[in-house]
Amino acid sequence: MPDFKKCWPEYKELYSTSLQATLKRVDLAYNRFFQGLSEIPKYKPIRKYSGWTYPSKAGWKVNTDGKNGTLTLNDLGITIKMRGQTKSWGTPTTLTITYKPSVNAWYASITVKIESQTAKYGSGSDLTYEKIVAYDLGTETAITAFNGREFEEIANQRFTKTLESKVKAAGKEKRSKQAPNFKKGIKASKRWKKANKKESKLKRKVGLARKDWQHVLMQSLMGETPKTALHRKVTSDLSSRYDIGVTEKLNTKGMTLKAKKGSKRKKQKAGLNKAILDVGFGTLNKMLTYKIELKGGIVLQLPTRQLKPSQRCPECGKVHKSWAELSNRYHVCDACGFEFDRDKTSAMVMFNAANGKQPGYGTDLDKRGFSSSTSKTSKHTGSMRQLGQKLPQE
């Protein structure tokens, strides 16, 4: 570390613990690689790693109760105003300062220790576990939910399509400017930087709108009180509270892969990928899982390949391979005469399977490959909490 500061004298202004925290991040990344949990860490140039961490309470101070306040960085001698409100507040432990070039702004991420009650399950919970909802994610309709009596649908907001023309125009404008090429030593022109900032701002607007909608959607699914017009709109679609959620395991990364080389359906696949990412299948599933878990509920995850909810008839259990085509939006069973909308049929199959009443499918959840949000196991290679431990000083 002393030799490093000789080469980079500007880093002398930072606390040694902050520099050691960066080294600890590298150590954690390589530990994950050696244990087979991730790929080998890639080299990051300084322009892509702008920021540092305070692993303990030394070097900074926050003055807030969770709503607005100030943040003081002692080593730099600056005080920053904080705005906004957190869902819960506790004892601050670590602080990470990060610069995001896409929005040309600095962000402070504070880790706090809060006293939270452990979720109670089964007989120890206040929940009745009688309110069950099965929900199917789609691109035509974002969510189709079924609670055994009625269906509830949430329309796809199509955030990307709303600003797509503006994003394309901004991208076209940026391509006509001198872009940076670090290998050839070419710097970006001021016009390119300005156009890049404009494009990034539009993309960020789409992402924030989608994230806000997803949070609102989960709040409505959990029956929380609406606070805004958007809350009221979404809550009108899903206003009930459920203790058990039923969905299918989705490999979003695999679903959004590019079309194979030589494929004649590249444009169709690109459009499908955009639609899937616009809804945010993976994020929706994660949000619903952690919010139901937080109150002691359970999320059942169905094995898609075994159950085939989009191909199975909820009445007789027959599997129709032709139903797998996305263009087939209305299903008609040639065995029992059942006919219904595609998304609603999938939700019915999942609801029946979770209750052990799906024809053509077993009733034992464990044997049929089901898993729940309370049965997960994880591997640990260390965490950023270690950074708060006493580190050797120079």
| Pairwise CA distance, residues 324 & 290, whole Å | 30
Per-residue DSSP letter, 158: -
128-to-121, 198, 298, 359 alpha-carbon distances in Å: 10, 51, 12, 26
Amino acid at 68: N
Q: So what's the pLDDT on residue 226?
A: 42
Q: How many CB atoms lie within 10 A of CB 215?
A: 15
- At a CB cut-off of 8 Å and minimum separation 6, what does 210 contact? 157, 159, 278, 280
Amino acid at 316: C
Distance of CA 271 to the CA centre of its chain: 21
114 pLDDT tier (thresholds 50, 70, 90): confident
- Asked if residues 28 and 387 have their Cβ atoms less than 8 Å apart, the reply is no
91-100 and 105-113 beta bridge pairing: antiparallel
Q: Which residues pair with 112 in a beta bridge?
A: 92
Distance of CA 257 to the CA centre of its chain: 18
Q: Comparing 20 with 81, which gets the higher pLDDT?
A: 81
Summarised one tens digit per residue, pLDDT across range 69-100 is 999 988 888 898 988 888 778 889 999 888 87
Query: Tokens 């989009």 label which residue?
Result: 310
| 227 three-class SS | coil
67-73 and 60-63 beta bridge pairing: antiparallel
Q: What is the mean pLDDT of the chain?
A: 76
313 pLDDT tier (thresholds 50, 70, 90): very high
Summarised one tens digit per residue, pLDDT across range 268-297 is 777 777 777 767 777 777 777 777 777 777
Q: Does 218 score more than 80 pLDDT?
A: no
| Pairwise CA distance, residues 178 & 186, whole Å | 9
Q: So what's the pLDDT on residue 382?
A: 45
- Quote the tokens at residue 370: 């089901």
- Quote the tokens at residue 295: 């109150």
Summarised one tens digit per residue, pLDDT across range 40-74 is 888 877 666 778 888 888 888 999 888 889 999 88
Q: So what's the pLDDT on residue 375?
A: 53
pLDDT mean over 169-197:
88
Highest-pLDDT range among 116-130, 216-230, 232-246: 116-130
Q: Which residues pair with 99 in a beta bridge?
A: 106
Q: Does 374 score more than 60 pLDDT?
A: no
Q: Does 34 score more than 90 pLDDT?
A: yes
3-state secondary structure labels for all residues of 66-90: CEEEEEEECCCCEEEEEEEECCCCC
Q: So what's the pLDDT on residue 363?
A: 60
| Pairwise CA distance, residues 95 & 110, whole Å | 5
Residue 128 burial class via C-beta count within 10 angstroms: exposed 0-12, middle 13-18, buried 19 and up: exposed
Query: Tokens 């399977």 label which residue?
Result: 353
| Pairwise CA distance, residues 342 & 327, whole Å | 10
Burial 318-351 (b: 16+ CB within 10 A, else e): eebeebeeeeeeebebeeeebebbbbbbbbbbbb
Evaluate the CA torsion angle 40, 42, 43, 49 in order and state its sign. negative
pTM exceeding 0.85:
no
Choice among 184-188, 212-216, 385-389 with the minimum mean pLDDT: 385-389
- Asked if residues 131 and 241 have their Cβ atoms less than 8 Å apart, the reply is yes
Q: So what's the pLDDT on residue 365?
A: 55
| 303 three-class SS | coil
- Asked if residues 155 and 142 have their Cβ atoms less than 8 Å apart, the reply is yes
